[in-house]
Amino acid sequence: MICLQRFSVFNLLCLIILLEAVLCQENAQTMRDKASLLSFREGIVSDPHRTLEDWNSWGVHVCNWSGIKCNKARDHVVELDLSGKALGGTISPSLANLSSLHILDLSSNFFEGRIPSELGSLSLLEQLSLSSNLLEGRIAAELGFLRKIVYLDLGSNRLTGEIPMPLFCNHSSSSLQYIDLSNNSLSGEIPLKDGCELKQLRFLLLWSNRLVGQVPAAMSNSSKLKWIDLESNMLSGELPSEIIQKLPKLQYLYLSYNRFMSHDGNTNLEPFFSSLVNASNFQELELAGNNLGGDLPPIIGNLSTNLVQLHLDANRIYGSIPPHISNLVNLTLLNLSSNLLNGTIPPKLCRMTMLERVFLSNNSLSGEIPSAFGDIPHLGLLDLSKNKLSGSIPDSFANLFQLRRLLLYENQLSGTIPPSLGKCINLEILDLSHNQISGVIPSEVAGLRSLKLYLNLSSNHLHGLLPMELSKMDMVLAVDLSSNNLSGTIPSQLGSCIALEYLNLSANSLEGSLPDSIGKLPYLQNLDVSSNQLNGEIPESLQESLTLKKLNFSFNNFSGNVSSNGAFSSLTIDSFLGNPGLCGSIKGMSHCRKKRTHHLAILSIILSLLITPIFCVFGYPLMHRSKFQRHQAVFDQEELGDDEEEGKKEHKYPRISYEQLIEATGGFSPSSLIGSGRFGHVYKGVLQDNSVIAVKVLDLKTDEEILGSFKRECRVLKRTRHRNLIRIITACSRPDFKALVLPLMSNGSLERHLYSNHGLSVRLNLIQLVSICSDVAEGLSYLHHHSPVRVVHCDLKPSNILLDEDMTALVTDFGIARLVKGDDGNVPTNDSASFSSADGLLCGSIGYIAPEYALGKTISTEGDVFSFGVLLLEIVTGRRPTDVLAHEGSTLHEWVKRQYPHRLDPIVQQALERCAASSMPKQYNKVWRDVVLELIELGLMCTQYTPSLRPNMQDIAYEIGRLKDYICNPSSFLIEEIDLKVEAP
């Protein structure tokens, strides 16, 4: 019995010893994984979101570290996922010691250097994703020995050299299902040789490299392929028909922009399309830009009815469009542009009722436009330009309620413009130029408020008057009506097209004077009225414009004095040819004779001033009252609200008479003009005590809303006080004259510093720009959250941000601001001060307007946040929102979002160059780069489509304040994570 007890105790001790040994072994493995991860962390030089902060915390098990997952026993790390964390640095070879790793995902970061060849020893690795980084050098051949790899993504880096053979041709590659090496600079041939077995491969993405040679025949062994993208390389040879016909599961095939040819010496496309017939779920085909020859075979209609996109543009395909193509009933995009097609457009084409975009431009198509196009309910873009089409524009286009872009230019179309086009209520671009269209411009078409980009009716045979309805196009950027037979006068109502940048009315028979309102268009850059019969003087408003760059007044009957100042300073005599009545200081123009002074006129002005004295009423007490102590007055209650106590404190406020403003500004002379806008002009003035002021004179003739704007601005400026808001000195009011008197900001507006066309040789550096952003954010934060009366500014943009002598930014121009009475930051709908986007005044300026305003939503502080986000992106990119809209066809924030986060390098680099980052010490380069990236991210947060997802101005002011501290003293400050998320681009 004793022996048995001793034996049991002995066995128990052995078991305990054995268990301890196992536990020690497991602990040793965990410690090795931990050491590998900490070694990897040492290579991280940038962690702006502090993702890895918990990696060295005592008491936190390695399996609980951010981005780490372990097996069930918690003794082996099996997953490391740090994708999209903005990490910078290099990838340490120590990761190869994580012997149980199944998933390694470091994509969408800023890792540099080479991919460690040691990663090839991770024998259990199934997923490796290093895409969208800054990795460079060759792909290590050792990665081809990952025995269980299923998913391999190295796309969107800077990798060079040839693709190593083991990656595609190795017994270890047999499990591969997904390969993405796209968007690098890889060269050589695709290394798929005979005998390569990639039987599980489903996705092969090699687009945008420098690959050469033919598509390897061994690709046909991968019969499960669904997606092949070889676009934008230098591949050659015949289209791979024999390979394609062995891939029955193929859904997406992208071969565009290579050097492929069709069969039989680039004359026969039928074998290729035949090879696709067996792919029953085929959905997209792209063959653009290969110079493929041959005609479109009828068998194209036998492709899968699941086909939704067909790109055959920029080739040398000839012959007619086969009617059989109409069998592709689910096609949404058809692009046959820039080929050699002839014949007529088959009416059967319009049986494809799912079509959304049709490109047939730049061919030799003839005949009439099929009226059946009007039966395609979802058609949003129709481009038939640069063909030989004749006949009239079908009335049936009126049915296309989704149509956004209609391009019919450079054809032989005749007849008239159908008024029914006015029913295309979503139309953004209408180009009918260079045809033989006659008749008048229908008022229904001229009144299309949906036009956002351009209207081009030039080079036709149009006659009649310019329709008054053109004034309704308050979103259009360009209008070209040149080279027609239009007559009559130019309506002054064109001044309502406030987004207009380009206006061409040349080569018509227009007469009368050029309206002064044209020169007041706030964004107009290019104006051509040459070769008409216009007369009278050239309006001074054109010379005073701050945006005009190109003008042409040639071959009219203009007369009068022309100055070489303002917008005319860069013009030559070529802009004024054929106007013998003009004289002035333009080189090559005859000098004007001096006229006698009209003493009686001057005397009458003086008498009128003496008979009708008027005094100005102030907004705030002056910071330095001694300069103005002899000009005291009271608030006018009608202009400044119901605060009676304010009105009684007459002794505290300055009074400046109308005569003093006349004297201070030289009679509001053009030489004193420093700015213009929708509501009037701003003049520089100097009072008798040498105080420098800015006088904002409202143009009461342009709109009844101006009076309301004046009252609104007075009320806002009276009730708010902050170092980053403009303060009011006084306000002048009489029935025929309204003006605000403000301190003159010596450094002008932010817009003046952002764009070189304002004549500044030195731009702001990044420290100054961040400081300005911080000032603006603080000012808006005060308006939204701390002011006695909450205010929504509604028109934030660079021209409404002024800089004082210390470069402190002040928000100005509260002409369309709204007082917020609700606790939620919204203007209540029953408030008389509220308005919607359908009212006479827009909710801001084009490019800065929050998208919800276009839907009639109530004005809110979130709208200001959106405008501020656009401002941030404008400062970083150096591009005006309207320029992006004109050239990119999208808003500024949408354009930046498309680059985020993997294609921001060019934007960041250009920002650093503009902000003189090259003059900074090298150790600060990364600091500045981090700040630019943070500004972009914050700008995208502020411009999210859903208002409730945007941060408030209080949080924004805090974040930019920290950025300001960081860039001014980077050695003692670390950027922390901004706790707001950007919507996925």
**Assigned token pair, 910:** 């250009």
Rounded average pLDDT over 35-52:
89
- Residue 795 appears among annotated catalytic residues: yes
Whether the pLDDT of residue 613 is over 50: the answer is: no
**Assigned token pair, 163:** 């693709």
| This prediction's pTM | 0.63
CA-based end-to-end distance of the chain: 78
Beta strands 454-456; 357-359: pairing state? unpaired
Q: What is the percentage of the chain residues whose pLDDT exceeds 70? A: 81
Confidence of residue 982 (pLDDT cuts 50, 70, 90): very low
Q: How far is CA 717 from the centre of its chain?
A: 33
Q: Is the separation of the CB atoms in 775 and 810 below 8 Å?
A: yes
**Domain 20-105 CATH assignment equals 3.80.10.10:** yes
Whether the pLDDT of residue 157 is over 80: the answer is: yes
> Which range, of 137-141, 319-323, 448-452, 862-866, averages the lowest pLDDT?
448-452
Rounded CA-CA distance 169/153 in Å is 17
**Assigned token pair, 899:** 């680059």
Q: What is the pLDDT of residue 630?
A: 29
Whether the pLDDT of residue 21 is over 60: the answer is: no
Beta bridge partner(s), residue 179: 152, 204
Tell me the CATH number of domain 750-972, given options 3.40.50.620, 1.10.510.10, 3.20.20.480, 3.30.230.10. Answer: 1.10.510.10
Q: Per residue in 779-809, pLDDT tens?
A: 999 888 888 777 888 889 998 899 988 889 9
Q: What is the pLDDT of residue 173?
A: 59
Whether the pLDDT of residue 889 is over 50: the answer is: yes
Q: What is the pLDDT of residue 707?
A: 60
Whether the pLDDT of residue 628 is over 70: the answer is: no
Q: Per residue in 293-303, pLDDT tens?
A: 999 999 999 99
Whether the pLDDT of residue 131 is over 70: the answer is: yes
Q: What is the pLDDT of residue 415?
A: 95
Closest CA to 397 of 359, 369, 362: 369
Whether the pLDDT of residue 102 is over 70: the answer is: yes
The H or E element spanning position 644 is helix 644-648
Whether the pLDDT of residue 124 is over 60: the answer is: yes
Rounded CA-CA distance 633/619 in Å is 11
What are the structural domain ranges in the chain?
Answer: 20-105, 600-743, 750-972
Confidence of residue 451 (pLDDT cuts 50, 70, 90): confident
Whether the pLDDT of residue 826 is over 80: the answer is: no
Task: Write down the residue that tokens 């039928």 correspond to.
Answer: 270
Q: What does pLDDT average to over the chain? A: 82
Confidence of residue 306 (pLDDT cuts 50, 70, 90): very high
Highest mean pLDDT among 31-45, 701-715, 855-869: 31-45
Helix (H, G, I), strand (E, B) or coil at 403: coil
Whether the pLDDT of residue 230 is over 90: the answer is: yes
Residue 481 vs residue 607, higher pLDDT = 481
Q: What is the pLDDT of residue 370?
A: 94
Phi, psi of 505 (to 5 degrees): -120, 20
Whether the pLDDT of residue 712 is over 70: the answer is: no
Closest CA to 737 of 710, 773, 712: 710
Whether the pLDDT of residue 825 is over 50: the answer is: no
Closest CA to 515 of 456, 499, 445, 497: 497
Phi, psi of 105 (to 5 degrees): -125, 105
Residue 265 CB contacts under 8 Å (≥ 6 apart), including other chains? none
Rounded average pLDDT over 143-164:
93
Q: Is 821 annotated as a binding residue?
A: no
Q: What is the percentage of the chain residues whose pLDDT exceeds 90? A: 48
Q: Per residue in 571-591, pLDDT tens?
A: 889 999 999 999 998 888 888
Q: What is the pLDDT of residue 675?
A: 73
Radius of gyration for the alpha carbons in the chain, expressed in angstroms and rounded = 35
**Assigned token pair, 10:** 């002995």
Which of 229, 383, 775, 795 is flagged as catalytic? 795
Q: What is the pLDDT of residue 851?
A: 84
Residue 901: cis peptide before it, omega within 30 degrees of 0: yes
Rounded average pLDDT over 452-472:
92
**Assigned token pair, 315:** 């080739």
Residue 21 vs residue 120, higher pLDDT = 120
Half-sphere exposure at residue 151, Cβ-oriented, CA atoms within 13 angstroms: 11
Q: What is the pLDDT of residue 746?
A: 80
Rounded CA-CA distance 926/560 in Å is 58
* Residue 121, Ramachandran bin (φ over 0: left; ψ between -120 and 50: alpha; else beta): alpha
**Domain 600-743 CATH assignment equals 3.30.200.20:** yes
Residue 511 CB contacts under 8 Å (≥ 6 apart), including other chains? 487, 488, 489, 532, 533, 534, 535
Highest mean pLDDT among 238-242, 671-675, 760-764: 238-242
∠ CA 366-367-372, nearest 5°, is 120
Whether the pLDDT of residue 835 is over 70: the answer is: no
